[in-house]
Structure formats: C-alpha cells, structure tokens
Amino acid sequence: MLKIESRDYFSGMFTLPGDKSITHRAVMLNSGANGEATVENALIGEDCLSTCRCMRALGTTIEIDGTTLRIQGTPRFRRGAELNCGNSGTTIRLLTGFVAGKGIDAKLYGDESLSARPMERVATPLSALGANVQTTDGHAPVYVQPSVLRGANVTLSVASAQVKSALLLAGISAEGETVVTEPVKSRDHTERMLRAMGADICENGRTVTVRKSALKSVDVCVPSDISSAAYFMSIGALKGETLCKNVGINPTRTGILRAFDKLGVQYTLLNKRSAGGEETADILVKKSAMRAIELTAEDIPAMIDELPLVALLCAFAEGESRITGAKELRVKESDRIKTTAELINNIGGECIAQEDGFIIRGKRKLAGGNIDSYLDHRIAMTGAVALIASENGGQLYRPECCAISFPDFFNALGLRLY
C-alpha cells in the first residue's frame, strides 16, 4: 500500500522510459532477422522482459546492458519450447503469429490475468493462413503445431494491433500475399519496423499487405512511451506544468493529444524530429480548465491504453462526458470499464460504467480516498494521478504492478514505493 498526498502544484521535466510496443517489436523482429542489432532506450519492464525471455527460450541471444539490448538474429528456432509470456498480451499474441510463421511447435502461456484474456482472436484469423493454433477454451495456454502457411485475405472484427501484428508476422513467412484489414487503424509500429527491415509491405488506409520476406536486422533507438508520458502530461494539465522529453508521437498513438484538444488542455509540441521511422517531440502541458467531451469508436484505438486516464480527466472537467465504442477495455489486464469507474467513484467522482464505455459527470474537485490497482499497471498509475489531483489524497493498494510498463514510476513522481 502507498499513501499518496494531494498536491496544490506539480511541475517538472521528465524523461520517460522507452516505448513498450516498439521494444517488444524490436526484440521479436530482430530475433527473426539476419544479423545483429542494438536497441537503445529499450523499456526494461516486466512485459518486455517476458518477450526477451521467450525469444531466448526459442534460441535467440539477447544481452541486456542498462537500457541497451544486443540481439543476435537466429536462423533456426528451437522446437517444442514452453514460452512463459507472464502478464503480457503483446508477447503472447505477437509470438503466436511469429511461431506459426517459423513452422515450429510451441506452448505459450502466462499468468492468471493473461490466462483470462481472449486468444481465439489470434487463433482464428491465423488458421485462415493455414496455421495450426489451438487455444484452451479460447484462452491461454495456446498450442502451435508446425504447418506450412499460405497468404490469405483477412478482415478483422476488432481494431487490435496485437492481432494485426500476429498476422503480419505470420504473413511474412507465408507463400503469396497476406492482406489484413482492420475496422479502425490501430498502432502501426510493426508495419514501420518491417519496412525498415526490408520487408515487402504496403499500406493503404486500414489495409496492410505483406509478402514473404527475409528481414535484415535493424538498430532501433526507442522513443519514450506516450502511454507512460500521459500520466505526467495529465498531472501538468491538472496541477501545474510538465515537460516530457523525446516522446513518440506516431499518429496512431496520439489519441491522448486529440482528447486534450477536445478537453481544452493547453499543450505544445517542441523539438519535433524523426528517428528510425518514428516521430518524436517534447510535450509541454500547462494547467487548464477542462470541459466535457465525447469520444466514439473511431477515437478509441489511438488512446486505448490512456482511456482510464482520459476518463479521470473527464471527472475533473466541467459537464457530462460520454465515451462509447470502447468495449475492448473489458479484456485488458483488468476489466478497465469496471476498474476505472470504481477508481473515479472511490475518490468522490461520478462515473457510470456502460457496456462499451462511460458516462462521467465532471466535478472539478474530487475528495480522494482509497484505490485498488486490481493488479493492473494502468489502473495503478491512473490512481496515483487521481490522488495527487484530489483534495485530500489517499491510499493506493497493490501499486507494485506498475513494474509491468514503468518500474520507476513512483520514483519519477517523487514517491517512495518501498
């Protein structure tokens, strides 16, 4: 348990850890490429370490030195590996496609939370490519058997970068052409990295086409994760002024900035630059009076992991906000519609959970109180922001799970976890 005091004013400059999605992909794709690669500013959090552990179990050599990784691509992968994906949805889903593409067998499994998350969403579309993937009643453990893949045309019913990426990773090993279409475009880090590694890939709106390709290793300098920066950006908007340095601003990830625009949050992007196919900027956010917003299905994928935080900002805004089309939140590390609504209500806000989103009646001032993380890193970090911005602060239970994506989170806030 961590006691968190409210603050009247909060300001500072922050360099947040590397992007989780890009780190996973840099490790996985370089493991299957020809050559050796260095990944700088990698996120050394539990989820990305799960990907490293699995790739090592498949035979890749990965050296970790601070936040730098050295990866030696493997021409031949170990068969019959048991791959422990921990808490990481990105690891298990991308790796299912990767393993299917390598024509080897493997068992992929994870912790209790991961074992409750849907896996048929990768197994079914992969079977359209000829993959033999069996789930356990729709969940992990997932079993992949060797098979020869052929390209296919797949239309996804959910906008999920994890599912899309699993298909692309299988597709680059399949004979012929694999075409994947999503209902709304999700994050495109896999597409960008595959292109940088020489893959035959083309994008047209919500459709991505890949053909069989050999990948060349690529060095990656990972930008800071906008999903981690979002907590500090939000404290700036609520309580003072924050500057987050070198944050990835790939447009498929900047939904939080579009939510800021609607809420009336004042922010500026400074030092915009581009490195390794991903754009970055320093993001300066100033305290702002916020107004209620509406978000619908089209808005959701680009801020999927920031939605608990966006809902919290709505609780501090003037008026009634509505968020719809966000049913995917129900199948994250916790049921984030339920856990976010509970978080807001526990500190004196008014949030009504809906089947696919929230109605939030903003109050400008919230009392504070006790919050549980439900062992979900995003809920733990949203809870910390909520208590700092509240009138009286409160207790945050089970905060340690922030190590999944941001091990140093409380330290960066000036709080001591132990």
CA-CA distance, 383 to 395, in Å (whole number)?
A: 9
> 407 and 413 in contact (C-beta within 8 Å)?
no
Using alpha carbons only, how large is the chain's radius of gyration in Å? 21
Residue 192 or 239 having the CB closest to ligand S3P? 192
Report yes or no: 133 and 142 within 8 Å, Cβ to Cβ: yes
d(CA 306, CA 30): 28
Q: Nearer Cβ to ligand S3P, position 11 or 324?
A: 324
In the complex, what is the shortest distance from the CB of residue 48 to ligand S3P, in angstroms, rounded to a whole number? 10
Write down the least CB distance from residue 258 to ligand S3P, Å. 17
Q: Which residue is nearest to ligand S3P (CB)?
A: 21
What separation in angstroms does the CA of 404 have from each of 117, 221, 271? 16, 20, 29
- The single residue of 19, 188, 305, 376 carrying the catalytic annotation is 305
Q: Is the dihedral of CA 97, 98, 101, 106 positive or negative?
A: negative
CB of 348 to ligand S3P, least distance (A): 28
Distance CA 325, CA 403 (A): 29
Least gap, CB of 93 to ligand S3P (angstroms):
7
* Shortest separation between residue 273's beta carbon and ligand S3P, angstroms: 23
- The answer to whether residue 47 is catalytic is no
State the nearest-atom distance from the C-beta of 418 to ligand S3P, in Å: 26
Q: Which residues bind ligand S3P (CB under 6 A)?
A: 21, 24, 89-90, 160-162, 165, 186-187, 304-305, 328
Catalytically active residues are 305
